């Protein structure tokens, strides 16, 4: 096949988004207002949650939830190491410590079966609390990540949280809008969650995020914190005595989404089911074609009863299949493969990174690569390949053909 350019992802917009944004501009109300409120309702309804609180991005939605739920200095919060840096950073912004746990390389999600030993090694049970033996921090929360659009085993996470004194659980669903276990959406298992509308996600508002919450008090607190903790919102203020400023009784933030983004979000929501169906169709086509054509990678695993929304189609290089004895050797193979795919016009990415290998976490907590082998393997061997609504079968065939040809050529030279 002849050379073609295949991006890793392309957001799916048409004239509807342009029209919606133009209407917001023409209305003169461009800061957070009625269109954001409509977008919040649409997303919350789609996910079966009572409330949506839109924010500037998912990182700030996570931060608001963590502040509102009381994460802070003197506390430890468990975070899977294999996730985008934002998950751990949001915990660290609050003054709590992100303690990194290992993931299962098969699902890319937190390995709940290791958590009892994880706690036993690091914590002592004193006065009804789990206390970090080294730092004296109290274990307070856990942030499972529904990575790449596949829910973690949230019922098992909730059970673990209950067994350890009622740890607070927040789901990082940046990539997982629409993901389900059985009929229950992410965010429907009794935990608040946060989704992202970055252009790499299923629907986009440029930048953007949303906290999804069922508890009315928590939702109200998050809403207030989003807007400098003002005692009344801009909309309420303009409807009443707008000349008086509200009260500010706690430290808040300006994490508001604009109404231009809200308008785009509403238009995107109308397309979400179509986008999800098309992405799933292409993902399943990869599932069918890759094992024969590209036997050097493992395709994404979906546990029985789970709905994967394939925000990322992430494969794993199989070291033995590419004649490598170690993860590091196979990592060198993956990187050269990605480089040569780039030269062939095909954008690929490592799935995400292992936080315990990143400078900030290494310098602060002294992690070694071997501490969390599952996350390390995912960091070094994950290979995300192109997937977007407007991808044609020819684009997809080109990706598969080039992956096969380039890998075969590299193995011939071994």
- The torsion defined by the Cα of 399, 405, 406 and 410, in degrees rounded to 10, comes to 150
* 76, 132 Cβ separation under 8 angstroms: yes
**Residue closer to ligand PLP, measured from CB, 145 or 389:** 145
Q: Is 343 exposed, middle or buried (0-12, 13-18, 19+ CB in 10 A)?
A: exposed
111 counts as binding ligand PLP under rule CB under 6 A? no
150 counts as binding ligand PLP under rule CB under 6 A? no
145 counts as binding ligand PLP under rule CB under 6 A? yes
Cα distances (angstroms) measured from residue 137 to each of 99, 124, 140: 11, 11, 9
Helices (H), 294-392: 327-343, 359-365, 373-381
Tell me the three state secondary structure of residue 79: strand
**Residue closer to ligand PLP, measured from CB, 59 or 350:** 59
**Residue closer to ligand PLP, measured from CB, 210 or 230:** 210
**Residue closer to ligand PLP, measured from CB, 107 or 402:** 107
**Residue closer to ligand PLP, measured from CB, 132 or 204:** 204
84 counts as binding ligand PLP under rule CB under 6 A? yes
Q: How far is the CB of 85 from ligand PLP (least distance, A)?
A: 8
Which of the ranges 78-86, 92-100, 237-245, 397-405 carries the binding residues for ligand PLP, by CB under 6 A? 78-86
54 counts as binding ligand PLP under rule CB under 6 A? no
175 counts as binding ligand PLP under rule CB under 6 A? yes
Nearest alpha-carbon partner for 276 in 300, 315, 311? 311
**Residue closer to ligand PLP, measured from CB, 172 or 259:** 172
Which of the ranges 68-76, 171-179, 250-258, 281-289 carries the binding residues for ligand PLP, by CB under 6 A? 171-179
- Binding test (CB under 6 A) with ligand PLP, winner from 32, 75, 81, 87: 87
Q: Which helix (H) or strand (E) holds 120?
A: helix 115-122
- Binding test (CB under 6 A) with ligand PLP, winner from 178, 209, 319, 386: 209
- Binding test (CB under 6 A) with ligand PLP, winner from 63, 198, 256, 298: 198
Token representation of residue 250: 């706690």
28: which residues sit within 8 A by CB, 6+ positions away?
none
* DSSP classification of residue 137: P
Which of the ranges 71-79, 170-178, 224-232, 366-374 carries the binding residues for ligand PLP, by CB under 6 A? 170-178
268 counts as binding ligand PLP under rule CB under 6 A? no
Write the DSSP string, 177-209: TT-EETTEETT-SSS-EEEE-STTSSS--SS-E
Binding site residues, ligand PLP, CB under 6 A: 57-59, 83-84, 86-87, 145, 172, 174-175, 196, 198, 209
């Amino acid at each position: 096949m002849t050379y073609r350019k295949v991006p890793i992802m392309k957001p799916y917009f048409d004239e509807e988004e342009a029209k919606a944004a133009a209407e917001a501009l023409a209305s003169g109300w461009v800061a957070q207002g009625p269109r954001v409120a409509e977008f919040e309702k649409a997303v919350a309804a789609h996910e079966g949650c009572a409330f949506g609180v839109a924010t500037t991005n998912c990182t700030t939605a996570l931060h608001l939830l963590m502040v509102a739920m009381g994460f802070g200095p003197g506390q430890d919060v468990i975070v899977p190491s294999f996730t985008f840096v934002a998950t751990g950073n949001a915990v660290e912004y609050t003054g709590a410590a992100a303690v990194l746990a290992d993931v299962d390389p098969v699902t890319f999600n937190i390995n709940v079966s290791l958590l009892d030993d994880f706690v036993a090694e690091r914590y002592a049970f004193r006065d009804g609390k789990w206390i970090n033996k080294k730092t004296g921090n109290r274990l307070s929360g856990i942030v499972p990540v529904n990575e790449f659009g596949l829910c973690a085993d949230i019922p098992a996470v909730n059970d673990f949280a209950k067994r350890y004194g009622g740890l607070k659980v927040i789901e990082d669903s940046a990539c997982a809008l629409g993901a389900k276990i059985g009929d229950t959406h992410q965010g429907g298992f009794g935990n608040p969650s946060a989704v992202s509308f970055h252009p790499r996600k299923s629907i986009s508002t440029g930048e953007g995020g949303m906290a999804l919450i069922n508890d009315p008090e928590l939702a109200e607190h998050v809403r207030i914190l989003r807007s400098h903790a003002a005692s009344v919102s801009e909309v309420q203020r303009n409807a009443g005595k707008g000349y008086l400023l509200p009260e500010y009784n706690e430290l808040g933030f300006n994490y508001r989404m604009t109404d231009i983004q809200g308008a785009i979000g509403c238009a995107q929501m109308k397309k979400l089911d179509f986008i999800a169906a098309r992405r799933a169709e292409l993902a399943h086509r990869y599932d069918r074609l890759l094992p024969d054509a590209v036997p050097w990678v493992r395709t994404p695993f979906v546990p029985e009863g789970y709905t994967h929304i394939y925000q990322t189609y992430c494969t794993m290089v199989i070291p033995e299949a590419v004649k490598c004895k170690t993860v590091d050797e196979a990592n060198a193979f993956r990187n050269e493969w990605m480089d040569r795919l780039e030269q062939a016009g095909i954008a690929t990415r490592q799935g995400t990174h292992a936080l315990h290998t990143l400078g900030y976490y290494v310098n602060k907590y002294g992690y070694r690569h071997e501490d969390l082998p599952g996350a390390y393997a995912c960091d070094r061997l994950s290979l995300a390949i192109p997937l977007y609504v407007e991808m044609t079968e020819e684009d997809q065939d080109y990706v598969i053909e080039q992956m096969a040809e380039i890998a075969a050529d590299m193995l011939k030279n071994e």
